[in-house]
Amino acid sequence: RKEVEQDPGPFNVPEGATVAFNCTYSNSASQSFFWYRQDCRKEPKLLMSVYSSGNEDGRFTAQLNRASQYISLLIRDSKLSDSATYLCVVKGGSARQLTFGSGTQLTVLP
């Protein structure tokens, strides 16, 4: 079983749609959680950190459920420029490195 599991998609949605991505992680000692965005043939870039209380950044909302070891990302009013691969990322309690899911591919259609 992978440490971080995501639905690979692809998700093809029309502009303006709301889309949700889910992720589960297996290491209950994990302490930090993130969503990274990766454009085609580019490096990953931090989209947002995920906090237990949930957090919002404009059209993006991230949620964390530690009991279920589940992380989500909601994108509202999707734009063409949101088309990318979204990577769920976990950092363990003692580990310094990031553990990435395989990514969920999103294409926003005009």
Partner 1 sequence: DTGVSQDPRHKITKRGQNVTFRCDPISEHNRLYWYRQTLGQGPEFLTYFQNEAQLEKSRLLSDRFSAERPKGSFSTLEIQRTEQGDSAMYLCASTPGLAGKNEQFFGPGTRLTVL
Binding site for partner 1 (CB under 8 A): 4, 8, 32, 34, 42-46, 49, 87, 89, 91, 95-103
Nearer to partner 1, 40 or 67 (CB): 40
Quote the tokens at residue 33: 């959680």
Nearer to partner 1, 4 or 106 (CB): 4
CA separation for the pair 10, 13 (Å, rounded): 10
Q: How far is the CB of 73 from partner 1 (least distance, A)?
A: 15
Q: How far is the CB of 17 from partner 1 (least distance, A)?
A: 24
Nearer to partner 1, 41 or 67 (CB): 41
Q: Would strands 4-6 and 19-25 be described as parallel, antiparallel, or unpaired?
A: antiparallel
CA separation for the pair 44, 25 (Å, rounded): 19
Smallest CA-to-CA distance from 82 within 49, 38, 51, 42 is with 38
Q: How far is the CB of 84 from partner 1 (least distance, A)?
A: 13
